[in-house]
Homo-oligomer: A and B are copies of this chain.
Amino acid sequence: MPANTVKLEPKNRLSAADWEQAALDTLAESGLAAVAVEALARQLGVTKGSFYWHFATREALIQASLERWEHSDEMEVLAPIEAVADPRERVRELIRQVSHRRPSHAVFAALLKSVDLPLIRPFIERVSQRRIDFVTEAFHQAGFDATTAANRARLAYSAYVGFIQLAQVGQPRMSHDEFEAYIRDFIEILIPH
C-alpha cells in the first residue's frame, strides 16, 4: 500500500469543518433546534465526546457555522452580480438568481425563525443590511431618488423574505410555469421600464 495518506480516509477522524458543515445541513433541513450535539454526533457516527473536543460549546459551533455560511453567501450571490453594469439589469439578474437557487435560502429561512436569539440576530441583521443596501444602491443608480430607492429595496427584500417563508407552507401553490410568471410580474412591478 502506498504510504503518504495525506487527506484520505475521510471515514473516521473528523475535523471542526465537518461539524460545521453538518450543522449547516441540519439547520437548513430541520431548523436550529435540530442542531443538537448528540443528534449531530449520531448523524456523524460518533459521540458527544468528539464534539466537545472540537468545540467548547454548542453556541460556539453555531457561531462558527454561521460565519462560514455568511461568508460563502456573500461571495456566491452578491459578488458575481456586482459586475453587471446596468443597475436595472443588475436587480433583474439578482431576482432571477435568487429565485432559481433554492438550497442556500434554506439556511436563511431557518435563521429567520430564530431571530429572537441573541446569537442569531446579528447574522440576520448583517446579511439583510448588505442585501438591502445592494438593491437600494442599484435603484438609486437607476434614477430613483434616495428615499424611493430605499423603499423599493425594502419592498423587494421584504417580498423575498416573505416568499421563502410562505414557500415552506406551500402557500403560493404554484406550478413551475406559474412561478416563472410570478417572477416576471415581480420584476415588472418593481422595476418599471
Residues of A bordering B, CB below 8 Å: 30-31, 112-116, 121, 124-125, 128-129, 132, 147-148, 151-152, 154-155, 157-163, 165-166, 168-172, 178, 181-182, 185-186, 189-190
Contacts and interface: CB of A to CB of B under 8 A. Distances in A.
Contacts of A186: 151, 155
A151 B129 CA distance: 26
A55 B128 CA distance: 41
Contacts of A116: 30-31, 168
A94 to B, nearest CB: 16
Query: Taking the full assembly, how many copies of this chain does it contain?
Result: 2
A121 to B, nearest CB: 6
Main secondary structure of the interface of A (DSSP, over half): helix
B182 A151 contact: yes
A173 B11 CA distance: 48
B113 A169 contact: no
Contact of A161 (B132, B162, B178, B181): B162
